[in-house]
Amino acid sequence: MGRKDGLLYVGPASAFLLFVLLVPLALVVFTSVWTAQGPTLSAYERLVGSALFLRTLWNTIEISLTAALASMLLGYPVAMHLARQTPRKRAIYLVLVLVPFWTSILVKSYAFTVLLGRNGLLNQALSWMFQTQVQLPLLFNRLGVIIGMTNYLIPFIVFPVLASLLAIDRSLYLAAEVAGAKPPRIFFQITLPLTLPGMVAAGLSTTVMSMGFFVIPAVLGGRKDAMMSNLVDFYTREALDWNMASAIGVFLLGIVTLAAIAGEWIQKRGARRGGAAAPAAVAMA
Amino acid sequence: MSAGAQSLGRAGDGGVIVDRLTRRYERLRNVMALAVYLFILPPTVIVVPISFGGSGEMTFPPRVWTLELYEKLFSARAWVDPIVQSVKVAAMTTVIATLMGVPAAYGVVRFEFPGKRLVMLLMMSPILVPVIVISLGLYLYLSRLHLIGTGFGLVLAHVAYVTPFMMMTVMAGVKKLDPALEFATSIMGATRTTVFVRVVLPQLRPSIFAGALFAFLVSFDEVVIAWFLTGPTTTTLPVKMYSSIQWDISPVIAAVAALLTALSAVFCCAAALLQPAAPQSTN
Amino acid sequence: MSIALQANEGRPPAQRHQATLTEDASNKAGAPPGAMVVFQGVSKTYGDAPALHAMDLAVREGEFLSLLGPSGSGKSTILNIIAGAVAPTTGRVLLNGKDVSAVPPRERGLGMVFQNYALLPHMNVFDNVALPLRIRGVGKDELARRVRNALERVGLIGFDHRKPRELSGGQQQRVGIARCIVYSPSVILMDEPLGALDKKLREQLQGEIKRLHKDLGTTLVYVTHDQEEALNLSDRVCLMNGGRIAQLGTPDELYFEPVDEFVANFVGESNLIEAQVTAPGAVTTADGLLLVVRSTEGHARGSKVKVLVRPEKIVALPAGEPSLPGQNRCTGTVASTSFIGGMTRIELERAGAAPLLVKTISSRASDRWPPQHPLTVGWSASDSVVLKA
């Protein structure tokens, strides 16, 4: 097969993405440094000095890390449960994770508005259970955003961690058992270390994914819970300050790039440690 | 066998000796997993019964069972037009993305060529780059081309966004193909095109179909890019739903949500049937 | 060191006290004295398919027992049942007199070596070998001493800080063995430990395992599909076929006194000559050849039998000489000669009868018989074993 053959197959798609994706992204970078007065970094200067931006940045980091951490803590038991099923049962339980995974983020956010409101279904259920008026504030605040995000992110943790778990050689468990190891030791000395690269990769990708979220903070959060994406929206459509919007966009892009590089570095380390789990996990993440 | 431990027969495992201690830990794990399942399911599932509850107060279970919301939905142009628009955009997107994405997926897996890593990065970038940045870029770009608020502009944007998703699905299928078949066919004298059309494509049919379903669903559900690129006459369903949630909470949204959920469930089942999405154990 | 002390050492702390208490009681369970591993009526069925038919087995203390057989014969199932990885469908398993049918693997005090080594990839050699000792709460100094001892025994001094992926297959398996012996279990199980290694390495490690067994004196149950390996290493061989024991005996017994055709064919090469018993100690083949055999005991006159003659026991004789008493002789022509190194395989065609396989020590090509060469061969009655047809 000639070397140029490949180019023929990927040509149309590459050209398309070049013109419809790469150029717009370059345009964002360009717009962030070009105003009516010519090239300038004034947008970035304004960003650094803007209390709004700094507050939003801090919110974004806080919310993303919290949600990613929570989803890792919640997703791991599910992955463990799935890993220990027979393939047939696993396929059935996986449906419970797949259907939410395929459901639109808008639907889920809307569902949370129904569930988490002061008179929402959750509070109604709690009121009925405790026979008093329960009105936990779970919506239009930080808690609501984190709940919504964690809920959305869990499948993105379950899949790579499941792949990691299944990649572990089964005879390792029997070898440890025969040597006398009890379940806690097996978990902490075999399962956890061998799934750690996959977990870290998944955690990193979910954190980065969260930072770019738009719908969840918009629907479930209050004014104080706006994240970077909402800020971009504000500057683009309301303030019509495309210069600032682009600067924020470039900032986000920078973070994602750094995270990708960190992810590659982790993958290389994980592979050197002899865990086949890491590349599989990163590929899935 | 003595009391104190029982053989837990797991199908296919043939009965491993599991004692009380191990079972205690297993129970702990199962309880934790169950709690999480109960957390991730409700938001997906709850909209369906609610949508049958009529436009009164949102309760579960609904006090009445009625199709009132669906009637309102399908009789309102404000909702029907976006539905139609979404279908049109998603369909066009799927067709174009498939036409470009399938050969690209094959090319990436089969061939080596200069700049391959860059090409792969380019193909996967819509997944890696935050949607908001993509949306902003397309907004700036298409407004210069006067394509804001047009269906065409949105289709272009969605094709770019959806291509990596479709490609990943098809790439998985290509990796399962036996390259020896293609080589054997070319030895017999077939041209590249013939090999691709007569040997590769037929084998890839399930993957292509699954990828197309995936592409359609992603485009249909996509909200952020559409939010930036659509105008009042070209609104898509998710955009209409989003603005409705933000500004005019109408109970009809429940019906819309239920329909979208049904769509996702159907596509999920179809894709699952077409190819094993679940990771396989290596032992 | 007394055997009892050794046996106790292998078990994690919680079990030692219990074991001493119950040992006396369960010796009344009917276990043969001196038997380390006992199966009583053990069977294993997966759904409809029986992997193991009800069987009894007693592995003697300190013995090297090989479980030999083709794939699916049940040998791995037996090992997994001893280890506790698989629960038997019926029957009881006794370890050192104690009923362990309901005891999980971690409390059985066994050692196990795996075909794919099962070393923890994120731990170095030292930590891998030390794991069982850490589980048993052994103090730092003694732990280090015992780990080094074990590594020395398997010839891996100085490998402490290497990781498994830095080691060759043979080295990894040595680590697996070290991890097994470091806590002196009462029974060591080996599941085709040399299956992933190439021939030369296999032979080398076979010798080391044999030597190790002699030094340690631990009971060893060894699964293999390689009959040469089983014959070489074991005190006794348990040949399995289709979930049943085909024969349990010393390597000698299996080779020279197989009980049936399957055993005869599995262990070494064989000629199986169809015949009928015509007189005590004598059979007649279909083509009228009278053969004297070691014994026709258990086979009635007129019954159909197969006579086993090992190819290397057949020698070439000068033509025309009369048979000596106790000697069988027949003639044929050389159909093909295969020079495989030390031995030469000769296929001898006989008119009106099945060909005979003859194995001789090789001579140079010029001295080997060409095809179509007439040849007279003979073998003694004591090398003729009568099997049921």
B100, B133, B265 member nearest A28 (Cβ): B133
Cα–Cα distance, B223 to B235 (Å, whole number) = 10
Q: Give how far A274 is from chain C: nearest CA, Å.
A: 6
How many beta-carbon contacts under 8 Å exist across A and C? Answer: 72
* The predicted structure's pLDDT at residue B153: 93
Sheet of C315-317: strand order equals C315-317, C374-380, C327-339, C343-350, C353-361
Contacts of residue B125 in chain A, CB cutoff 8 Å?
17, 21-22, 25
Cα–Cα distance, B22 to B28 (Å, whole number) = 10
Q: Give how far A198 is from chain C: nearest CA, Å.
A: 14
C44, C85, C89 member nearest B16 (Cβ): C85
Instruction: List, for residues C57-107, the tens digit of each pLDDT value.
Output: 999 999 999 999 998 899 999 999 999 988 999 999 999 989 998 888 888
Q: Give how far B29 is from chain A: nearest CA, Å.
A: 6
Cα–Cα distance, C128 to A221 (Å, whole number) = 50
User: In this complex, is the C-beta atom of C127 within 8 Å of any C-beta atom belonging to chain B?
Assistant: no
Instruction: List, for residues B245-259, the tens digit of each pLDDT value.
Output: 988 878 889 999 999
* The predicted structure's pLDDT at residue C31: 58
Q: Between the CA of residue B181 and those of A8, A135, B169, B195, B199, what are the distances in Å?
A: 21, 65, 21, 9, 8
Give the list of residues 6+ apart from residue A192 with CB closer than 8 angstroms, or none: none
User: In this complex, is the C-beta atom of B113 within 8 Å of any C-beta atom belonging to chain A?
Assistant: yes
CB C195 within 8 A of CB C115: yes
pLDDT of residue C30 exceeding 50, the answer is yes
Task: Report residues of chain A scoring pLDDT below 50.
Answer: 1, 274-285
Contacts of residue A102 in chain B, CB cutoff 8 Å?
217, 264-265, 267-268
* The predicted structure's pLDDT at residue B70: 87
Contacts of residue B14 in chain C, CB cutoff 8 Å?
44, 46, 51, 86-87
A181, A182, A194 member nearest C122 (Cβ): A194
Query: Which residue matches tokens 């998710």?
Result: B238
Q: Between the CA of residue B11 and those of A88, B7, B8, C73, C90, what are the distances in Å?
A: 10, 12, 9, 21, 17
Verify whether the Cβ–Cβ distance B1 to C102 is below 8 Å.
yes
Backbone angles phi, psi at A8, to 5 degrees: -65, -40
Verify whether the Cβ–Cβ distance C118 to A194 is below 8 Å.
no
User: In this complex, is the C-beta atom of C345 within 8 Å of any C-beta atom belonging to chain A?
Assistant: no
> What are the residue ranges of helices labelled H in C29-184?
75-83, 125-135, 140-153, 169-181
Verify whether the Cβ–Cβ distance C106 to A182 is below 8 Å.
yes
Span B34-62, mean pLDDT?
Answer: 85
Verify whether the Cβ–Cβ distance B283 to A169 is below 8 Å.
yes
Verify whether the Cβ–Cβ distance C135 to A179 is below 8 Å.
yes
pLDDT of residue B27 exceeding 70, the answer is yes
pLDDT of residue C18 exceeding 50, the answer is no
* The predicted structure's pLDDT at residue C81: 94
Cα–Cα distance, C145 to A180 (Å, whole number) = 20
User: In this complex, is the C-beta atom of B5 within 8 Å of any C-beta atom belonging to chain C?
Assistant: yes
Verify whether the Cβ–Cβ distance C105 to A178 is below 8 Å.
yes
CB C363 within 8 A of CB C237: no
Tokens of A182: 């009890």
Span C264-283, mean pLDDT?
Answer: 91
Contacts of residue C135 in chain A, CB cutoff 8 Å?
179-182, 185
Beta-strand ranges (E) seen in A34-164 are 34-35, 38-39
DSSP assigned state of C348: E
Query: Which residue matches tokens 């086979």?
Result: C299
* The predicted structure's pLDDT at residue C11: 52
| Whole-number average pLDDT of chain B | 85
Q: Between the CA of residue C230 and those of A122, C210, C233, C252, C347, what are the distances in Å?
A: 67, 11, 6, 11, 27
Verify whether the Cβ–Cβ distance B19 to C103 is below 8 Å.
yes
CB C104 within 8 A of CB A175: no
Scanning B134-163 for CB atoms below 8 A from A yields 134, 136-141, 156-157, 159-160, 163
* The predicted structure's pLDDT at residue A30: 92
Helix, strand, or coil (residue C376): strand
Residues B85, B89, B92, B93, Cα dihedral to 10°: -170
- What is the complex's ipTM, to 2 decimals? 0.87
The DSSP bridge pattern shows strands C98-99 and C90-95 to be antiparallel
Cα–Cα distance, A13 to B208 (Å, whole number) = 16
* The predicted structure's pLDDT at residue A250: 93
* The predicted structure's pLDDT at residue C12: 56
Chains touching A (3+ CB pairs < 8 Å):
B, C
Contacts of residue B126 in chain A, CB cutoff 8 Å?
17, 21
Verify whether the Cβ–Cβ distance A175 to C112 is below 8 Å.
yes
- Report residue C110's pLDDT band, with 50, 70 and 90 as the boundaries: very high
User: In this complex, is the C-beta atom of C203 within 8 Å of any C-beta atom belonging to chain B?
Assistant: no
* The predicted structure's pLDDT at residue B277: 44
User: In this complex, is the C-beta atom of B17 within 8 Å of any C-beta atom belonging to chain C?
Assistant: yes
Chains touching B (3+ CB pairs < 8 Å):
A, C
Cα dihedral A27, A31, A36, A38 sign:
negative
Please report the DSSP string for B129-179 in residue order: S-HHHHHHHHHHHHHHTT-TT-HHHHHHHHHHHHHHHHHHHHHHHHHTS-H
With vertex at residue A20, the alpha carbon angle to CA B146 and CA B236, rounded to the nearest 5 degrees, is 65
Phi-psi region of C60 (alpha: psi -120 to 50; beta: other; left: phi over 0): beta
CB A112 within 8 A of CB A220: yes
Contacts of residue A189 in chain C, CB cutoff 8 Å?
120, 131
Considering only residues B17 and B69, tell me which one the structure prediction assigns the higher pLDDT: B69
Considering only residues B176 and B191, tell me which one the structure prediction assigns the higher pLDDT: B176
* The predicted structure's pLDDT at residue A18: 92
Verify whether the Cβ–Cβ distance B15 to C87 is below 8 Å.
yes
C110, C135, C165 member nearest A181 (Cβ): C135
Cα–Cα distance, C45 to C40 (Å, whole number) = 16
Instruction: List, for residues B115-159, the tens digit of each pLDDT value.
Output: 888 888 899 889 889 999 999 999 999 999 988 888 899 999 999
Sheet of C90-95: strand order equals C49-60, C35-46, C90-95, C98-99
* The predicted structure's pLDDT at residue B50: 87
- Report residue C286's pLDDT band, with 50, 70 and 90 as the boundaries: confident
Instruction: List, for residues C323-380, the tens digit of each pLDDT value.
Output: 788 889 888 999 999 999 899 999 999 988 889 999 999 988 888 888 999 999 999 9
Chains touching C (3+ CB pairs < 8 Å):
A, B
How many beta-carbon contacts under 8 Å exist across B and C? Answer: 37
| Whole-number average pLDDT of chain C | 88
A25, closest residue in chain B (CA to CA)? B137
For residue B88, count other CB atoms closer than 10 A to its CB: 15
Choosing among C22, C82, C103, C108, which should be mutated to test the B contact, i.e. which has the most B CBs within 10 A? Answer: C103
**pTM metric for this prediction:** 0.81
C86, C101, C105 member nearest B1 (Cβ): C101
